[in-house]
Every structure is written in structure tokens, then in C-alpha cells.
Amino acid sequence: MKNNPDRRLWDCRFYGRLDDCDYFSWMNPPPHPHYNKVINGFLWKASNSENESSRYKDWQGKGRKLLKASKIDAYISQNGVTNSSKSHGLTKNPNLQQLGPKAKDVKKPVNPFVFLSCFLLGAITATYFVLIPIYMWLKDQIVPKGMSI
């Protein structure tokens, strides 16, 4: 069948009648010379397409690897730069999420000047709102109204 594509199963022309011959016969007509070019070209294209399909499978595997790598790269760039790149002077994009613990969870060293200024401001505020009213109340209790101290 591969060598002669014209090979067909022919039946007896009397098949199905009372005087049928009850058999089938194969007819092998001589192939046309053009068939060799067509069949060989088709077989070459078929083998070539098998090679292409295996190449596509290889490309598909490589594409999946590149896709995974690009997803990892996008995740890293979306979540900001790492600590090692911060030490090299790279700045973090403020629109990106921070990688690692959040800023409120990290204990930062306290600047002594800021600590002292907050303490003095708190002391002055406490004096104005707490100690002065208490002093005035005690003064009124000890010294009657209208008398000077």
C-alpha cells in the first residue's frame, strides 16, 4: 500500500446477485510517475513536521523556564530591593511593598536629642496643665481669697 497509493479493493461486478462471484480482488494499477514526487515530498514534510513538533516541545519547556524566571524577577522587583542592595546605595521605590519585617516591627535606636526634647516638652505640658492648677487650688485652700501671699 505504501509503494502503490493506487492500490484499491475491487469487488466482483456481479457481487450481490444470484450469479455473483463471492470474492473481492485487489487491483494494482501501475503508479503514475508523478506520485513518487508527491509521496516522497509528503513523507519528507511529515518527518520534517515531527522534527518541528519536537523543537516546539523544547521551546515550550524553555519558555516555561523563562516564564518562571520572569515571575520571580517581577515578584522581587515588586517587593522592593533587598538589604544587600540598600547598602550599595540603591534606593527603594516608595510605591513598592517592603521585603522582610514591617517598619513598625523593627526597633530603631533612639536619638538622644529627640528623646530629651520630647521629655522637656512633656514636662512643660504637665506643669502647665497639672501642676499650676494644683498649686492654685492649694493656694486658695491655704490662703483665704483676697489676701496676698
One-letter-per-residue 3-state SS of 44-103: HHHHHHHHHHHHHHHHHHHHHHHHHHHHHHHHHHHCCCCHHHHHCCCCCCCCCCCCCCCH
Q: Is residue 119 situated within a structural domain?
A: yes
Q: Is residue 144 situated within a structural domain?
A: yes
Q: Is residue 141 situated within a structural domain?
A: yes
Q: Is residue 90 situated within a structural domain?
A: no
Q: Is residue 137 situated within a structural domain?
A: yes
Q: Is residue 126 situated within a structural domain?
A: yes
User: pLDDT tens across 68-123, in order?
Assistant: 777 777 777 766 655 445 544 455 555 555 566 666 666 777 788 888 999 999 99
The pLDDT assigned to 117 comes to 92
Domain that holds residue 119: 110-149
User: pLDDT tens across 53-62, in order?
Assistant: 777 777 787 8
Q: Is residue 51 situated within a structural domain?
A: no
Query: How confident is residue 12, by pLDDT bands cut at 50, 70 and 90?
Result: low
Measure the CA–CA gap between 81 and 100, rounded to whole angstroms. Answer: 10
Q: Is residue 140 situated within a structural domain?
A: yes
Structural domains of the chain, count: 1
